[in-house]
C-alpha cells in the first residue's frame, strides 16, 4: 500500500473519532505535578506512577516542599517507579532550578523546559501541550511505533518521527493526535502482537495483517 496524503487524512479521521476526548492517564492537578509525573513515567506504567504520585504529592505538592524532602526520603517515596536513584536526583535538581529561577513555577517556554535536569524533548513536549495548551507532539514508544506502522510519519529516531508528524498533521491537531496515537498503541497496535483484525485502521494501514479469509 502506498500511503498518500488522502490515506493519511483518513487515518487521522478514524483516530480522531475512535479516540475522541483522549487524555493523559497520568493524574495531576497543575503543571508542576504533570512535570514530575512525566519524569517518573520513564520505563514505568502510568498506573504505577499514579500510585506513587498520590503519596508523593500529598507530602510534597510543590517544588519547595519537594526540595525539603531531601534525597533519602524522595527515593523512598518514588522507589516503586524504578530508576529511582537517578529520577530522585533529577527531580531535586529540577526543583532547585524552579525555586531559584522561576519562583517555584514551571516555565512555559519549551527551551527552558529542556534545560531542566532529566527533562528531554518528549517530556518538554508533553508539558507544553498538556499543561500549557500549546501545539506540540511528544513521541514516546507508542507514538513512534504506531506512526511508523501507519507510515503517518516514518523515521529511525523519535525526532525524525516528530518532524514527520508535524508535517503530516494539521497544527491544531498536534496535541490531540499525540493522545490518539498513544491510546491506539496501548489498546490495539501493541508492540509484539498488534490486534490487526480488531483495528478500525486495518484498511488504511500498510502494516496491517491481511483479513482472515473464510473457509
Catalytic residue, chosen from 109, 115, 122, 163, is: 122
Instruction: State the number of CA atoms in the 13 A half-sphere of 204 facing the CB.
Output: 16
What three-state secondary structure class fits 81? helix
Residues 140, 163, 190, 214: which is the catalytic one?
A: 140
Q: HSE-up of 61 (CA within 13 Å, CB side)? A: 3
Residue 62 falls in the annotated catalytic set:
no
6 is an active site residue: no
Query: Taking a C-beta distance cutoff of 8 angstroms, is the pair 75, 84 a contact?
Result: yes
Would you tell me how many other CB atoms lie within 10 Å of the CB of residue 133?
Answer: 10
The 3-state DSSP composition of the chain as helix, strand, coil percent (nearest 5) reads: 65, 0, 35
Give the distance from CA 50 to its chain's centroid: 14
- 69 closest CA partner among 49, 55, 83: 55
In Å, the largest CA–CA distance within the chain is 70
Q: Which residues are catalytic?
A: 122, 140
Amino acid at each position: 500500500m502506498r500511503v498518500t496524503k488522502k490515506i493519511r487524512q483518513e487515518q487521522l479521521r478514524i483516530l480522531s473519532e475512535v479516540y475522541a476526548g483522549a487524555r493523559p492517564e497520568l493524574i495531576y492537578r497543575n503543571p508542576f505535578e504533570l512535570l514530575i509525573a512525566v519524569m517518573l513515567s520513564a520505563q514505568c506504567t502510568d498506573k504505577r506512577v499514579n500510585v506513587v504520585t498520590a503519596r508523593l504529592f500529598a507530602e510534597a505538592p510543590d517544588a519547595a516542599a519537594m526540595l525539603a524532602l531531601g534525597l533519602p526520603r524522595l527515593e523512598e517515596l518514588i522507589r516503586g517507579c524504578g530508576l529511582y536513584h537517578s529520577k530522585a536526583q533529577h527531580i531535586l535538581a529540577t526543583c532547585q532550578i524552579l525555586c531559584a529561577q522561576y519562583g517555584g513555577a514551571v516555565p512555559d517556554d519549551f527551551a527552558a523546559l529542556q534545560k531542566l535536569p532529566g527533562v528531554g524533548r518528549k517530556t518538554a513536549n508533553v508539558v507544553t501541550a498538556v499543561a500549557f495548551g500549546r501545539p506540540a507532539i511528544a513521541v514516546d514508544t507508542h507514538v513512534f511505533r504506531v506512526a511508523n506502522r501507519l507510515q503517518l510519519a516514518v523515521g529511525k529516531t523519535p525526532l525524525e518521527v516528530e518532524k514527520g508528524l508535524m508535517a503530516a498533521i494539521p497544527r491544531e491537531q498536534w496535541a490531540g493526535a499525540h493522545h490518539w496515537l498513544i491510546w491506539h498503541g496501548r489498546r490495539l497496535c501493541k508492540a509484539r502482537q498488534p490486534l490487526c483484525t480488531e483495528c478500525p485502521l486495518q484498511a488504511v494501514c500498510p502494516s496491517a495483517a491481511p483479513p482472515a479469509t473464510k473457509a
